[in-house]
Amino acid sequence: VCRRCGRLWPLADPAWRCRCGGLFDLLGPSRDPLDTSPGWSLWRYRAVLPVVGDGSAWQNVSLGEGLTPLVPVRPGLWCKLEYPSPTGSFKDRGAAVMMALAVAGGARRVVADSSGNAGRAVAAYAARAGIPADVFVPAGTAPHRVAAIEAFGARAVVVEGDRSAAAGAALGAVAAGGAWYASHVYRPEFVHGVKTLAFELWEQLDEPPRAVVVPAGNGTLVQGLWLGFRELAACGRARSVPAIVAVQAERCAPLAGMPPAGPTAASGIAIPHPPRLGEVRATVLASGGQVVTVPEEALAPARAELAGMGMAVEPTAAAAWAAASHVQPAALPPGPVVVVLSGGPG
Ligand SMILES: [Zn+2]
């Protein structure tokens, strides 16, 4: 359904936005997400995931994503390890669901834009699905990140300019025809893949957490958790949703209304102009959470502290840990607090 004009579109349509320019949400039957199907991946929640056709396309796309560890760190504080995902981040959850729809919809080529983990995830799932992928990355993207995309056989196209320029180039390629836009920012099914993280937390803790601390760039993790927790609440599993604490690096914190202040080591969340900024900020507030910014000098010690506990992550993930353990621990509610660690060391 179009968020702007309310027009209904079939799920199998390759369109990524409405003719009026509005972005899509998904409508679906309301069911209990924890009434799971057989299997050992996030597809055990497939009764509440968007699928088309006979619903079997995921079997040729899945890399076993989901079912990641939840590790107790100290009383009341847990880490949800998303970095053991197939390509090292929670983006695999969204990419798997998105690519299953692309396959079911007959996509012959996919196009994405990303400078990091999302591009890597799309490249991997496109390879798994046997579909060629072009990933547009902004100039200045670290060479090892470009190589991580190309490693899956995808074509990485370096675009002069910033992240928005890369998105513009991807849209140009989609407009030229023949390609399916695998956008983790615009495709609502991506967030529906990410919502499975909420279901897992619920099952692993046997109760809803009181708060979840997440790194936020484009905010797909915020939106996915919110969607998942609300679906659980809607079916009577709980009266309220956990507070979602969105963490940004002080040097790039548009959610906190701060001006950009140079490059940050937390490059995975350095998105100066996220297209869904207002929506993400509203979600954080509606959940009872807040935006927390982390000073640059706190990233390296937080990363080292995690490594000292056996958890090796990229600086972006360390930002979430820094926020929960050092910056504002007093702001967190008592009871189970979960810090999401997404993004492996390299
Ligand atoms: Zn519309």
Question: Which tens digit of pLDDT belongs to each residue from 237-261?
Answer: 877 789 999 999 999 999 999 988 8
Q: How far is the CA of 187 from the centre of ligand 1 (A)?
A: 14
Residue whose pair of structure tokens reads 């939106």 in the numeric block: 223
Q: How far is the CA of 121 from the centre of ligand 1 (A)?
A: 29
Q: Which of 319, 335, 326, 178 is nearest to 249 (CA)?
A: 319
Distance CA(295)–CA(283), nearest Å, equals 24
Q: How far is the CA of 23 from the centre of ligand 1 (A)?
A: 7
Q: How far is the CA of 2 from the centre of ligand 1 (A)?
A: 5
Global pTM value: 0.95
Q: How far is the CA of 186 from the centre of ligand 1 (A)?
A: 14
Element containing residue 331 per DSSP (H, E): none
Residue whose pair of structure tokens reads 């695999």 in the numeric block: 92
Q: How far is the CA of 5 from the centre of ligand 1 (A)?
A: 4
Q: How high does pLDDT run on average in the chain? A: 93
Region of 226 please: left (phi>0), alpha (psi -120 to 50) or beta: alpha
Q: How far is the CA of 188 from the centre of ligand 1 (A)?
A: 14
Tokens of 79: 């880490």
Question: Which tens digit of pLDDT belongs to each residue from 158-180?
Answer: 999 888 899 999 999 999 999 99
Q: How far is the CA of 163 from the centre of ligand 1 (A)?
A: 26
Question: Which tens digit of pLDDT belongs to each residue from 180-209?
Answer: 999 999 999 999 999 999 999 999 998 889
In this model, does residue 328 exceed pLDDT 90? no
Q: What is the pLDDT of residue 207?
A: 80
Distance CA(25)–CA(223), nearest Å, equals 12
Q: Which of 108, 101, 26 is nearest to 57 (CA)?
A: 101
Q: How far is the CA of 282 from the centre of ligand 1 (A)?
A: 22
Question: Which tens digit of pLDDT belongs to each residue from 118-163?
Answer: 999 999 999 999 999 999 999 988 899 999 999 999 999 999 988 8
Q: How far is the CA of 171 from the centre of ligand 1 (A)?
A: 18
| E strand segments, the chain | 70-74, 77-81, 110-113, 133-138, 155-159, 180-181, 211-215, 243-249, 291-294, 337-341
Q: Which of 337, 292, 269 is nearest to 90 (CA)?
A: 269
